Chains A and B, each alone.
Chain A
Amino acid sequence: MKFVVVVFPGSNCDHDAYYALKHNLDVSVDFVWHKETDLKKYDAIVIPGGFSYGDYLRTGAIARFSPIMDAVIKEAKKGKPVFGICNGFQILIESGLLPGALIVNKGVRFLSQDVTIEVVNNNSIFTKIFKIGQKLQMPIAHKQGNFIADQETLHLLEDEDRIIFSYSDERTGNPNGSMKNIAGIVNKSRNVLGMMPHPERAAESILGSNDGIEIFKSMLT
């Protein structure tokens, strides 16, 4: 399985994702610059975290029009796994691959902390190795992670079991105010996942948790 990590101007978790895949999992992975237009030779696409285009206008709003995004959308429609983390999630929402919006955290502040998330649904390539209800620890690092959607979209996400991860922390609760405690969702075809927490930063025990690497492992099995 050949992975690719898309690099935008302002991406800053691209190397973490690359490292987790290459050195923690020993899988094939390339970087691709956002000016590229073809992703046919890859089997899975990671849209990493960071501050693409300085978060100007809205998070993800300008990256969504980078040339590479047409290729990302094309491969996503073919059913290839597309995994957006943090700013990657914001970009996938702006691109229309995922519904809703990510607005500023309820407390207005940038949050950089460990959270516990719960696997709400394991019917996806990203979570098939987990048990429903399993708790995972990994960090969040964002200011715009507060997921909102209209009632119709929320019902759809629930009815179609598309809420994949939710915040589930006895201590910190729901850190950013997301509706339904949403930390990660998939598209209707279940091959596009967006999540605010950073699994690539929880890829080996020296980082405090290796729960995150399991999501990448799930994609390989």
Chain B
Amino acid sequence: MQTQARVRRWPWVAIGLSLATAFTLSMMSPADSVQGDLVRIMYVHVPSAWLAYLAFFVTFIGSVAYLLTRDLRWDRIAAASAEIGVYFTGLAISLGMIWAKPTWGVWWTWDARLTLTAIMFFVYLGYLALRRTTEDPVLRAGRASVLGVLGAIQIPLVHFSVIWWRTLHQPPSIIRPDGPAIQDPLMLVALIGGVVAFTIVYVSLMVKRIELIHLEDRKSAVESAIERPVAGEAVTAPKLGASS
């Protein structure tokens, strides 16, 4: 029983430890010579954006796997990942706006990366809205998985937008053919540490959310079984304890 409780608690412990580490690293990193302390927003903004890509890519994989196997576990993975992805896309956009106001002088600019990220956010918001319109888990999985595949068109478009268009948003800082653009080792460690920590947070949240979706599906299956007539409309279950 104690071991079971410990297993159930590990995602929360992992989230706490990861976020604490990321926070410590971002505080240890020096202020930027141009941006000053504003650069610390990047230690959350960049990992959030990375997580959004990862989450939506997992949604795509889960959707394809569901269509191929019809195993509802894949649909739960896709759904959980999309929810987390929408949350972190929202976080990345909000933090980007907070950073942009003092840096660029505006909350929002019609930059390709920004605009396409906002659009990606709405694509997956639509995905979540679609899921809410169907109660039956099998029907819901079939519809949502097609949209999960279709929505993935946006992911490469958002990622390559800084390369295809001349944008205000800077190009990739770490994964570049000529090595990372960040020269200060502490800054690089803080950024990579943030990415690793957020990835652990993602995995932990996924474990909890998948478990929750599974329980929700079981609950709705039990509820619909209770409401369903025993043998057609003519014969219904007796209402025990009824006064009249």
State yes or no: do A and B come from one complex: no
Residues of chain B having any CB pair with chain A under 8 Å:
none
Residues of chain A having any CB pair with chain B under 8 Å:
none
